[in-house]
Amino acid sequence: MVEPVAAWRAVAAQEAARQAELAVAPRAGAWSVGGGSADAGSGELTPAELVMARAFSPLPAVPADPTNAYADNAAAAVLGQRLYFDKSYSGPLSVGDDGMNGGLGAVGERGKVSCFSCHSSPSGDDNRSRPNNVSLGTGFGTRNALPVVNASFYTWTNWGGRFDTQWSLPLAVAENPVTMNGTRLAVAHLLWNKYRADYDAIFPTPLDPALDPAAPDAARFPLTGKPAAAGADAGVWEAMTASDRTVINRIYANYGKAIGAYMRKLVSRNAPFDRFVAGDAAAISVSAQRGFRVFLEKGRCATCHAGPFFSDNQFHALGVPQTGPRVPATDNGRFADVPGLLSSPFNSAGAFSDDAGVGKLSGLAQTPAMTAQFRTPTLRGLSNSAPYMHSGQLATLEAVVDFYDVGGGALDAGVKDPLIQVLNLTPAEKADLVAFLRTLDGAPVDPALNLDTSR
């Protein structure tokens, strides 16, 4: 196997040589690729390293989502923003206002949590998980909420890849007992009561008139209900006809697709590193430039945090310890999440996908190798997304660098990824690497997208 660092160096050398042949003349104040060394204003990086920087910037356009026909529908995004901030369809709190839930309310109170409740920092991550490690919605979860800004660039959604589309995530969030604790029937009635005109203007099939509580056949759609958990007794959902359950599931999928359209607008670009790569030699410090070298070579970071999104969109077992007051003793990561993805009626190959032939699930099966694997998160926006790792086990970027420096942690089950090795970074190299990581914080998203537009 070719050593990752050697591979990066070889590609960089080839591209630098090609660029040198072009003899590109640098503009004033910009670093040069065509000369024998970096421009004086850049301070540190070699021509080959400057060329390699171009593999990490700029952030491209948000990838298309053929499974969501409304992904780039402006009206759907407007509705999605309303639903993202709406608290009224969340169910009862299981954690009371005893200093742990941020003043949301008492146990049993409803309508206290929205999507925004757990994704409310500038980067769109959960700032209510601190200092509890894991996220807090209607109750405490088992993992730390991931940022939603730039999340549309991921191939798989959630830490263990439980979802293969962005629009299917809100469907599970709305019904999960510890996130929003709601039901799909409540969501359908919310859309009828508050957003009927918005919904009917977007989706080809209008909301069913029987959702009107005054309709003669209103009993078809109870005010609340969702599929019974495995092993639980059948409930109101199971008492509905199969055709009526399909009606609600279609509405529910469209609810997720509207939120997905909104989240695709939450993109942060133009980080200092992007400006540096574009030619602004003063955009990042000399320390950060040295940190980029560590990132490419001794730190081995680019092996997994590749490309402009700084993620390989793959899953790796690192041995992050299950520590923290509310972190479960075991989390099998992707191994635990794949069965739910494959059985979901809302996955990319399901009846509610707008392109069931995308093939994302072809050949996917649960295997022991997936045990304790978690998705490689992007490095963009790191300064605003602490705590870090899948359950917020590490509080600072410095702690994350220290974790990788010693070769990760030990696994109780599964096999640690062989790419994780002891690095032996010096204190100066660690500081430079952190300085580089902080240059990946992009411009804020449009402030209008952070406004509560719910009714």
User: What angle separates helix 242-263 from helix 184-202, to the nearest 10 degrees?
Assistant: 70
pLDDT digits (tens, 9 = 90+) for 87-139: 999 999 998 876 677 788 999 999 999 999 888 766 655 555 555 678 889 99
Q: What contacts 131, CB < 8 A, 6 or more positions away?
A: none
Q: Give the chain's radius of gyration (CA, Å).
A: 24
4-18, 99-113, 402-416: range with lowest mean pLDDT: 4-18
pLDDT digits (tens, 9 = 90+) for 237-293: 999 999 999 999 999 999 999 999 999 999 999 999 999 999 999 999 999 999 999
**Of residues 4, 284, 58, the one with CA closest to residue 292:** 284
Distance CA 113, CA 93 (A): 9
CA distance readout (Å), 454 to 42, 200, 446:
47, 17, 17
Bridge partner residues of 315 (DSSP): 375
Question: What percentage of the chain has pLDDT greater than the value 70?
Answer: 87
**Quick one: pLDDT at residue 1?**
42
Q: Is the pLDDT of residue 84 over 60?
A: yes
Question: What percentage of the chain has pLDDT greater than the value 90?
Answer: 80
Q: What are the start-end ranges of the E strands in 245-322?
A: 315-316
User: What domains lie within the chain, and their CATH numbers?
Assistant: 4-61+271-351+372-440 (1.10.760.10), 74-266 (1.10.760.10)
Distance CA 264, CA 148 (A): 9
User: Could you write out the DSSP letters of every residue in 197-256?
Assistant: HHHHHHSSSPPPGGGSTTSTTGGGS-SS--PPPTTSPP-HHHHS-HHHHHHHHHHHHHHH
Q: How many CB atoms lie within 10 A of CB 357?
A: 10
Q: Are 200 and 207 in contact (CB under 8 A)?
A: yes
Q: Are 186 and 238 in contact (CB under 8 A)?
A: no
The mean pLDDT value for 185-213 works out to 98
Bridge partner residues of 9 (DSSP): none
Distance CA 251, CA 212 (A): 15
Q: Are 295 and 355 in contact (CB under 8 A)?
A: no
Q: Are 319 and 409 in contact (CB under 8 A)?
A: yes
CA distance readout (Å), 268 to 113, 252, 265, 273, 300:
25, 28, 9, 13, 25
pLDDT digits (tens, 9 = 90+) for 337-377: 999 999 999 999 999 999 999 999 999 999 999 999 999 99
| φ and ψ at residue 31, rounded to 5 degrees | -80, 160
**Quick one: pLDDT at residue 35?**
36
Q: How many CB atoms lie within 10 A of CB 424?
A: 10
pTM value surpassing 0.85: yes
Token couple for 33: 């690729």
> Would you say how long the chain is, in residues?
455
**Of residues 311, 301, 308, 448, the one with CA closest to residue 375:** 311
Q: Is the pLDDT of residue 51 over 90?
A: yes
Confidence of residue 393 (pLDDT cuts 50, 70, 90): very high
Q: Are 220 and 248 in contact (CB under 8 A)?
A: no
Q: What contacts 21, CB < 8 A, 6 or more positions away?
A: none
CA distance readout (Å), 339 to 163, 376, 390, 425:
11, 20, 19, 39
Angle, vertex CA 21, rays to CA 15 and CA 25, nearest 5 = 100
The mean pLDDT value for 167-188 works out to 97
**Quick one: pLDDT at residue 134?**
87
**Of residues 333, 410, 404, 407, the one with CA closest to residue 369:** 333
Secondary structure letter of residue 24 according to DSSP: P
Token couple for 285: 């410090």
Distance CA 427, CA 423 (A): 12
Q: Are 403 and 409 in contact (CB under 8 A)?
A: yes
Bridge partner residues of 388 (DSSP): 394
